[in-house]
Amino acid sequence: MKSNRRQFIKFSAIASSLFAFNKSKSAELMLSKTKKTVKPIVISTWRFGIEANEEAWKILINNGKALDAVEAGVKVPEADPNERSVGLGGRPDRDGKVTLDACIMDELGNIGSVACLENIVHPISVARAVMEKTPHVMLTGEGAFQFALSQGFKKENLLTPESEAEWREWLKKSDYKPKVNIENHDTIGMVALDMNGNLSGACTTSGMAFKMHGRIGDSPIIGAGLFVDNEVGAVTATGHGEEVIRIAGSHAVIELMRQGLHPEEACKRAVERIILSAKKRNKPLNEIQIGFIAINKNGEHGAFCLQKGFNYAVYSPDIKNQLIDAKHLL
């Protein structure tokens, strides 16, 4: 009996040291796995990208999903009434209505989009709900609004006194003249690579100030304002949406990266296509601005724009949230 007990104790000692060995071994394995994790990166358009990146980074650095990061990131300017080209406080259309466009895309090619959505602060989250909860990929106007309400989003007035005052001033002449940089339009486009090597993107805007009611830009159009291919990279666009749609801009950049071009070079080539397309139609180049930003599967980033004045925010372990001036062609 005693010897049995002794044997048992001996066995459990060996077993527990084995277990400890296995445990440390698996911790080691986990560590080597962690070592292999991808360096995350998030980039986004314009100066408001800095604050948006901050929010996205909290998710990325905690091993969260790129999809969650980009949604959380772009929600920052959406909710900020002082950002006059996105979400709450966005400049209205010529009828005084704030109409929002947004889309989202994940690493599996899941997509969701809303266009001409009114009275909802976070169109990006409605776009995500379209992606996750409906058999469709795009909802517009009243249908998008009713869907948002059914998902628990609250109806809110997005027209702030500042935007209303600007619109009333505009009504005096009613002259539709999109400016070149951030003066009367802007988009937050954000793309991210997470530690698991997955890419996602989000894009949201109130579009061109004083546009016709019902006008939809590039921002909610997958392939134009945003595109993600988990084998290649992720791209988003800002600027005159009509020009971006014409060349399926973000998709064009993806295809150029697929051919091996660095993100910056791919963005540059797409801007050159915009120039060619505008020249064919005798569209004066000084009236348009386009900016593309891109990351590839290796976490390299780049951007390019048509005119001077476009910048983008980069957050990675090496570049801790900096605004970078994009190179320009004109």
Active site residues: 187
Rounded Cα distance, 67 and 60, in Å: 10
- Tokens standing for 230? 């988990």
Among 113, 205, 296, 316, which residue interacts with ligand ASP (rule: CB under 6 A)? Answer: 205
The SS3 call for residue 305 is strand
Minimum distance from CB of 272 to ligand ASP (Å)? 19
Instruction: Single out the residue of 64, 239, 249, 263 in contact with ligand ASP (rule: CB under 6 A).
Output: 239
Binds ligand ASP (CB under 6 A): choice among 65, 84, 185, 246: 185
Helical packing angle, 263-280 and 249-258, nearest 10°: 130
Distant-in-sequence, close-in-space partners of 5: CB < 8 Å, separation ≥ 6: none
The tokens for 273 are: 């296509």
Choose one: 115-123, 232-240, 279-287, 316-324; the region binding ligand ASP (CB under 6 A).
232-240
Report if residue 217 touches ligand ASP, rule: CB under 6 A: yes
Q: Please count the CA atoms within 13 angstroms of the CA of 32 that sit on its side-chain side.
A: 5
If the CB atoms of residues 236 and 316 are measured against ligand ASP, the closer one turns out to be 236
**How many helices (H) does the chain have, and how many strands (E)?**
9, 12
Of 208 and 278, nearer to ligand ASP (C-beta) is 208
Distance CA 257, CA 254 (A): 5
Using only C-alpha atoms, the chain has a radius of gyration, in whole angstroms, of 24
**Which one among 113, 187, 200, 236 touches ligand ASP, defined by CB under 6 A?**
187
Stretch that binds ligand ASP, among 62-70, 200-208, 258-266, 294-302 (CB under 6 A): 200-208
Q: Is 218 in the site for ligand ASP (CB under 6 A)?
A: yes
From candidates 160, 200, 219, 250, binder to ligand ASP by CB under 6 A: 219
d(CA 291, CA 125): 24
For the record, the structure tokens of 282 come out as: 């005798």
Under the criterion CB under 6 A, does residue 99 sit at the interface with ligand ASP?
no
By beta-carbon proximity to ligand ASP, the closer residue of 77 and 299 is 77
- Positions in the binding site for ligand ASP (CB under 6 A): 185-187, 205, 207-208, 217-219, 238-241
